[in-house]
């Protein structure tokens, strides 16, 4: 089996995904790398070998004979880079969120359909063991018919992850309800088996806007400043010169199948994890932790408060980043390039997560005004439902 030839656009923190895909002689080989930072490019051949072609312009990869490209650049660049590659017929792994507007996502979907080019979006949480465990319990009828999904996201490292670089500027993300929330909104949709059609939201920049210490961190990576010692949150220094995204957000959703959902996101909690609650006609389930040692607990009997659940599923996390999800994600993309067929991730679902987050952000910034979320064009949805073929 010949190695498939891979490229990567964006050599920042998420380029560890490409290292998982670089397996010379075992099926896949990185042969091209693109980044605007000369220092990142300088290390590409050391990371992937002397065969790697390097460039600062992704358009130079369009005729490089590539079998697939990982797009791991800042969010606001995904749309144009993705459209260019899809138009050239090059299969694309697009990191989440796929774009920073609903219209941008629709443009990407249409480019993939028009040119019959495979599109894969990196929603790795669909491969996280705790999420898979919840999905399987729901499918097995553990809580009956799902009626409500709630998610609380405690982003304990939010100051380091999102307020010291480009993420803090809404021109690059729209907002963190979309940027960070795209993961959780996709999971909510997956667990509920439906898509958001109406939202409202409230929130604001409630803490990090009060910090006056700002500086340009061009050329740095998040790993250069991330530290558990950056606590309490108001002691943070060196925030991005522009900070205009919300650090506390709450949204409510009505899905197309009648399920109601809510999502809360805070970027200055002391702990860092996600808590999902799913309520159905015959019970409730909830996860405790989202990494190794996590549990999913199910209650099916009436009672007052009791921490002892009726069913407890202990979750094992295999090796690998993001609770073992990233290696599975990359393997699925490589298989998709070679063989096509169905994938656990879904470009349409990725668009629906962005659409919900985008509408919620518009609601939040307009006093909580309810917003409708339009579905994907039926012809486009049908194309992806049939395996992009």
Phi/psi for 53 (5° steps) reads -85, 130
Q: What percent of the chain has pLDDT over 70?
A: 99
User: Are the beta carbons of 357 and 97 closer than 8 angstroms?
Assistant: yes
**What is the distance between the terminal CA atoms of the chain, rounded to a whole angstrom?**
24
pLDDT average, residue stretch 64-79: 97
pLDDT average, residue stretch 42-54: 94
On the question of pLDDT at 221 being above 90, the answer is no
Residue 219 binned pLDDT confidence (cut-offs 50, 70, 90): confident
Domains of the chain, CATH where assigned: 126-325 (3.30.360.10)
User: Are the beta carbons of 151 and 177 closer than 8 angstroms?
Assistant: no
d(C-alpha 330, C-alpha 122), whole Å? 8
Q: What is the pLDDT of residues 292-309, one digit of tens each?
A: 999 999 999 999 999 999
| Residue among 284, 280, 273, 203 nearest 244 (CA) | 203
Q: What is the pLDDT of residues 269-328, one digit of tens each?
A: 999 999 999 999 999 999 999 999 999 999 999 999 999 999 999 999 999 999 999 999
Residue 249 CA: distances (Å) to CA of 153, 203, 204, 372: 10, 4, 7, 18
Q: What is the pLDDT of residues 120-165, one digit of tens each?
A: 999 999 999 999 999 999 999 999 999 999 999 999 999 999 999 9
d(C-alpha 13, C-alpha 228), whole Å? 18
Q: What is the pLDDT of residues 331-343, one digit of tens each?
A: 999 999 999 999 9
d(C-alpha 316, C-alpha 319), whole Å? 10
| Per-chain mean pLDDT for the chain | 96
d(C-alpha 67, C-alpha 337), whole Å? 7
Separate counts of helices (H) and strands (E) for the chain: 14, 15
d(C-alpha 208, C-alpha 246), whole Å? 9
Laid out side by side, the sheet with 119-121 consists of 53-55, 28-34, 4-9, 68-71, 92-94, 119-121
The pLDDT score that the predictor gives to residue 44 is 95
Which residue(s) pair with 165 in the sheet? Answer: none
SS3 state at 292: coil
User: Are the beta carbons of 92 and 115 closer than 8 angstroms?
Assistant: no
d(C-alpha 87, C-alpha 311), whole Å? 49
- Predicted TM-score (pTM) of the model is 0.97
Strands 273-280 and 146-154: antiparallel
SS3 state at 130: helix
């Amino acid at each position: 089996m010949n190695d498939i030839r891979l490229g990567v656009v964006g050599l920042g923190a998420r380029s560890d995904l490409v290292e998982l895909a670089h397996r010379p002689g075992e099926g896949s080989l990185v042969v091209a790398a693109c980044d605007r930072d000369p220092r990142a490019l300088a290390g590409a051949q050391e990371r992937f070998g002397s065969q790697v072609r390097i460039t600062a312009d992704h358009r130079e990869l369009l005729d490089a004979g590539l079998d697939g490209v990982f797009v791991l650049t800042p969010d606001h660049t995904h749309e144009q880079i993705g459209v260019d590659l899809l138009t050239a017929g090059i299969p694309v792994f697009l990191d989440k969120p796929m774009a920073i507007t609903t219209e941008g996502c629709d443009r990407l979907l249409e480019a993939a359909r028009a040119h019959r080019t495979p599109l894969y979006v990196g929603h790795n949480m669909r491969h996280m063991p705790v999420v898979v465990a919840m999905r399987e319990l729901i499918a097995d009828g553990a809580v009956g018919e799902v009626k409500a999904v709630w998610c609380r996201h405690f982003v304990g490292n939010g100051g380091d992850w999102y307020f010291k670089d480009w993420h803090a500027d809404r021109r690059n993300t729209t907002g963190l309800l979309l940027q960070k929330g795209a993961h959780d909104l996709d999971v909510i949709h997956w667990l509920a088996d439906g898509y958001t059609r109406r939202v409202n939201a409230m929130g604001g920049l409630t803490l990090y806007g009060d910090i006056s210490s700002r500086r340009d961190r061009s050329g740095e990576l998040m790993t250069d400043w991330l530290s558990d010692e950056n606590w309490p949150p108001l002691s943070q220094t060196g925030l991005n010169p522009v900070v205009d995204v919300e650090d506390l957000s709450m949204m409510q959703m009505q899905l197309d199948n009648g399920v109601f959902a809510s999502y809360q996101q805070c970027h200055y909690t002391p702990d860092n994890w996600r808590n999902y609650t799913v309520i159905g006609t015959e019970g409730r389930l909830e996860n405790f932790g989202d990494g190794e040692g996590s549990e999913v607990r199910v209650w099916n009997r009436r009672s007052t408060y009791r921490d002892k659940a009726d069913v407890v599923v202990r979750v094992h996390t295999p090796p690998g980043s993001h609770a073992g999800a990233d290696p599975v994600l990359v393997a699925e993309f490589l298989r998709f390039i070679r063989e096509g067929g169905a994938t656990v991730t879904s470009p349409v679902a990725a668009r629906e997560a962005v659409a919900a987050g985008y509408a919620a952000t518009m609601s939040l910034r307009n006093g909580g005004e309810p917003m409708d979320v339009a579905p994907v064009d039926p012809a486009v949805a049908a194309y992806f439902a049939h395996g992009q073929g």
